[in-house]
Amino acid sequence: MTNSMDLTFLRFNFLNKRFTLLDQKSDRYLLILICLLFSVLYINVFVPFNINRWFSDSGFIQFIRLSSYGLIVSLVLLFTQFPLRKLFKVNAFSIKSYVIWLLIEILLISLVYIFLYGNPIGNFINDFVFSLKYTLLGILLPYSFSLFIIYYKNQRAEIRMLKDKIGNPEKKEMLVFKDEYNRIKFSLRTQDVLFLESTDNYISVYYWAEAKVQRKLLRNSLKRVEEMLAKNRVVRCHRSFIVNWNQIEMVQLNGKKLQLKLSHHDKIIPVSEKYSSLFLDFLSQQESV
């Protein structure tokens, strides 16, 4: 019974985690562009589902028709990712809300296909099931490929950002923390901040004040806060942690895992494999100075 409850809790936590890949407008435009180019190229080269035989056309006319399927996908995504998100004030997704939003996008694409290429008045239900099946199969590959490219791009950007922070000794006097709606919630002196820890849709900001460790909660994603604090010496070391580089007292290699010990706090902060080389490289540079 306990194991079943724990599994349910883990699933609930996973579904409520932030989905950050489409937070930035530039990433949404990239999604739409990749889906357009990938769909047009894939449909015309590989002709899935014998789609070239659905109508009695050929040559340039057939190319235009096949390409239009990809164009429709991109136009619907342009609508859902910008006007529709603005209308419903969707500034950020959880994994659960993103899955729901994706289903809405697929339904809208299917409906557009029916009204453009089907017969909604004659046999709407059959046409809708047919359209939904092929829309789901057709969008899976370009959409997944687009998200992979966005994820890879963002990971590279995070690594570059971390290198710049560690190598740049300058810092601002105050760190300003904003919530998911970009509203300023509080500010702290840079030297007082210890670390940030992601907890579901909130971030716990630990800092030193009045001779003790204190904590403030901020509703936002760790990725967005990291971007806000890009010019300061707070660095990402793990998917759930950002640390103040100036507060690190000890870096320890425990087996193959790198761990950090910060001032004023007993918590051991893990360093994920993605960031380990950067910390070790910087320590090597310090040793040679």
C-alpha to C-alpha distances, 113 to 110, 141, 258, nearest whole angstrom: 5, 18, 52
Which pLDDT belongs to residue 70? 92
Write down which residue in 160, 190, 216 finishes a domain.
160
- Count: domains in the chain: 2
Which pLDDT belongs to residue 289? 47
- Clarify whether residues 251 and 173 are in a common domain: yes
Phi, psi of 253 (to 5 degrees): -95, 110
- Clarify whether residues 109 and 181 are in a common domain: no
- Clarify whether residues 186 and 62 are in a common domain: no
Write down which residue in 102, 129, 160 finishes a domain.
160
What residue numbers bound the domain in which 65 lies?
2-160
Which pLDDT belongs to residue 9? 42
pLDDT tens digits along 225-272: 988 887 777 888 998 999 998 898 888 888 878 999 999 898 999 999
Does the predicted model carry a pTM greater than 0.85? Answer: no
Write down which residue in 160, 177, 205 finishes a domain.
160
Label residue 60 exposed, middle or buried (CB < 10 Å: 0-12, 13-18, 19+): exposed
pLDDT tens digits along 150-179: 999 988 887 777 666 665 554 557 899 999
Across 122-143, average pLDDT: 87
What SS3 class is residue 6?
A: helix
Q: What is the distance between the alpha carbons of residues 261 and 157, in angstroms, rounded to a whole number?
A: 26
- Clarify whether residues 116 and 186 are in a common domain: no
What SS3 class is residue 169?
A: coil
Across 219-225, average pLDDT: 90
Label residue 154 exposed, middle or buried (CB < 10 Å: 0-12, 13-18, 19+): middle
Which pLDDT belongs to residue 5? 45
Ramachandran area for residue 206 (φ above 0: left; ψ -120 to 50: alpha; else beta): beta
pLDDT tens digits along 57-67: 889 999 999 99
- Clarify whether residues 77 and 15 are in a common domain: yes
Across 220-224, average pLDDT: 90
Which pLDDT belongs to residue 86? 92
Residue 258, beta-bridge partner list: 253, 271
Across 267-278, average pLDDT: 88
Q: How far apart are the first and last CA of the chain?
A: 58
pLDDT tens digits along 18-75: 888 998 899 999 999 999 999 999 999 999 888 888 888 889 999 999 999 999 999 9
Average pLDDT, the chain: 86
CA nearest to 244, candidates 235, 255, 252: 235
